[in-house]
Amino acid sequence: MLPTRSDIRVYRIVRALSRDFAMVLSVLLVSLLAAGCSSQLSVEQDPTVIATHDGGTNVDGQIQADSLVASASPDTLPEVPAPWWPTPPAGEASIADLDALYQQALQYTAGRRLDLAEDVLLVLQDLCLGPLPDGADSLYTTTQRSLQRRVHLLGGVLAEERAFAQQPADQDSLLTVAYERLRRLDFPDSLVPATGTELPSFAADLLTIENAAVKKWEDHFTGRGRPYFARWLQRKTAVDSLITTILDEYELPRELIYLAMIESGLSSRARSSVGAVGPWQFMPGTAKAFDLRQDWWIDERRDFELSTRAAARYLSQLYERFGNWALVLAAYNSGENRVARQVRFKGHDDYWRMHLPRQTTDYVPKFIAATRIGEHPERYGFEVTPAPPLVYDTLSVDDATDITLIAECAGTTKQELALLNPALLRGATPPDSRGYAVRVPAGSGVRAAAALRRIPADKRLTWRRHRVKRGDTLSQIAAAHGTSVADIARLNKLDNRHLIRPGDQLLIPMPADLAARAQKRTADKGYYVPPDGYVRVSYKVRQGDTLGGIARKLGVSLKHLRKVNAIYRSHLIHPGQRIYAYRPHSG
């Protein structure tokens, strides 16, 4: 049976009274709900009722709180007649069974056994808050929705009990959280909380928390960690607008910028010991799942805009899964499957009562402390000088191009361009991308594009990546790409020009207009350059193989095999060695 408006008036009065008297009346309300009371109740202020400091009340010395609680114990609750429920569709759970669980939760609440009541409510929420079964008639639908509302109402009562039992100042925020689901279920307007400021779920889940763990991090950031936190606040002023604009776009709380702050100090160059990279500290697998490119040339985890968009998508998915920001942050740090297992194992979704790795246990308090200080730094003695915001134009660049040349076209320095493009790992745009978007200072995009088009082909330096093969020398590689040994050694920081090994990857500067001539010239000197349309094939040497036999298997000449693999003076090959050849593409 749904509580009546008079019941709710009693409940509202509970929230307006002092801590001790409210505890008594909230227990009394639960007893009335359990008994299905529908009579009109009225509560009038009696000047003879005086609140005491030991949890009881005196009405001329006649009424004591202990007697009220005792009268509401499970053993003395009045019998509740079994209601008639519509028959559920075949294969579905009986609402009568769910109602029995609800009555049990009421009894636990009346007996002040709040942990048991919460456990039963968690089970009820899983069972009765799902979609309606196929074929459910209007009576079944009405009954199930009634049960849903009563379950959430009892959740509100439990939240109130918890608030008064711990810190009365938290009662409004806790009750607001409990009523969020009621509003979604079209609960009568009369049951909207009568007092208290309505808090967004983010603030209610996190920013109202006060405990020793949060205090520890506040003390750290304002004590030994103050120099680091001051640096983070300075960096925040540069990227604040960029990041919060993206968070707004995804309808996420702006305070999530402090997640990047505690992850990386808002540094694009941050790298953890386990391989997480960038301001949002993406691991390679997660970055790949959210379309962040990672290869020899580029790591988009370092890019503020691209990585923030990926983080916003990821956080949105986590919140859709868990519906609780403390669990979202824990999942971001420790992995969503680990957190999901904890929820299943514990039977509740209270982050503060879960057993998670120590780093994750510290993670949410650290975030709360950083957010509180970051939102009001002056309260904690921080003076923050605003930095220029991170704004830029984009320039479309084809093929691999040195950022020094792009910087000259944009009228800026190589260092400034590198700061705007932290994803470029080699100081050049990638050779396999058409129209790669390079960030240039705001207002310089049109000028830079026009200047870059005027660069002659013989002066536009392009780049290639070369994997060293067995028998390669720097002089052969330089000749093949139309550059010099000195340039390759300088660019790749090679102290010993003769010490290169198979498998090494070298960055090769190469003037574009020399590429075609270099192919013919180096082919004549013995360094094999395959014709257009040829593809590489390989063969793994086995015991007893010979070069001639491998050449026949691959369908090429012995001379071709020697040249490609730089084997000139000997027939010596060994098992496990990889032999390469080039053949015309069959497709």
A 10 A CB-CB count for 85 gives 17
Amino acid at 274: V
Q: What percent of the chain shows pLDDT beyond 90?
A: 36
pLDDT of residue 49: 33
> For 297-339, what is each residue's pLDDT tens digit?
899 999 999 999 999 999 999 999 999 999 999 999 999 999 9
**314 three-state secondary structure:** helix
Q: How confident is the model at residue 120 (pLDDT cuts 50, 70, 90)?
A: confident
Range among 32-41, 156-165, 346-355 rated most confident: 346-355
* pLDDT for res 585: 67
pLDDT value at position 41? 32
Q: Mean pLDDT, to the nearest integer, of 26-50? A: 41
Mean pLDDT of 225-236: 97
Tokens of 312: 């916003």
For the segment 430-472, what is each residue's pLDDT rounded down to a tens digit? 876 788 999 999 999 999 999 998 887 556 666 777 888 888 8
Q: Which of 12-26, 345-359, 556-570 has the highest mean pLDDT?
A: 345-359
Q: How confident is the model at residue 533 (pLDDT cuts 50, 70, 90)?
A: low
- For residue 178, what pLDDT is reported? 53
Whole-angstrom Cα distance, residue 440 to residue 412?
8
pLDDT at residue 161 greater than cutoff 60: yes
Dig out the tokens for 107 from the structure. 């009894």
pLDDT at 190 over 60: no
Q: How far apart are CA 154 and CA 366, in angstroms?
A: 32
State CA 233 to chain mean position distance.
21
- Please determine, for residue 47, whether its predicted confidence score (pLDDT) is greater than 60: no
Query: What is d(CA 396, CA 445) in angstroms, rounded to the nearest whole number?
Result: 9
Identify the pLDDT of residue 293: 94
From the list 267, 363, 261, 245, the residue with the least C-alpha distance to 312 is 245
Of 399, 394, 501, the C-alpha closest to 448 is 394
Domain locations in the chain? 5-197, 212-380, 392-453, 531-587
Which contiguous run of DSSP H or E holds residue 173? helix 171-184
Which amino acid is it at 550? I
pLDDT score recorded for residue 52: 35
* Cα–Cα distance for residue pair 523/521, rounded to 1 Å: 6
Q: Residue 407, SS3?
A: helix
Domain 212-380 shares a fold with domain 531-587: no
Taking 90 as the threshold, does the pLDDT of residue 481 lie above it?
no
pLDDT attached to residue 11 = 40
Give the number of other Cβ atoms within 10 Å of residue 402's Cβ.
18
Mean pLDDT of 222-239: 97
pLDDT, mean over the chain: 76
Query: Does residue 545 register a pLDDT over 50?
Result: yes
Structure tokens at 473: 């020398």
Q: Residues 505-519: pLDDT tens digits?
A: 888 876 544 444 444
DSSP-based three-state secondary structure for 20: helix
DSSP per-residue codes, 445-494: HHHHHHHHHTS-TTT-EEEEEEE--TT--HHHHHHHTT--HHHHHHHTT-
What confidence score (pLDDT) does residue 7 get? 45
Residue 527 has pLDDT above 60, yes or no: no
Residue among 230, 244, 183, 26 at smallest CA distance from 117: 26
Chain-centre distance of CA 379, in angstroms? Answer: 29
Superfamily of domain 531-587: LysM domain (3.10.350.10)
What pLDDT is attached to residue 4? 43
Instruction: For domain 212-380, give its CATH number from 3.30.300.30, 3.40.50.720, 3.30.465.10, 1.10.530.10.
Output: 1.10.530.10
Give the end-to-end CA distance of the chain in Å, rounded to a whole number: 75
Task: List CB contacts of 61: < 8 A, sequence separation 6 or more.
Answer: none
Cβ-in-10-Å burial (0-12, 13-18, 19+) of 305 comes to middle
| Local structure of residue 579 (DSSP, 8 states) | E
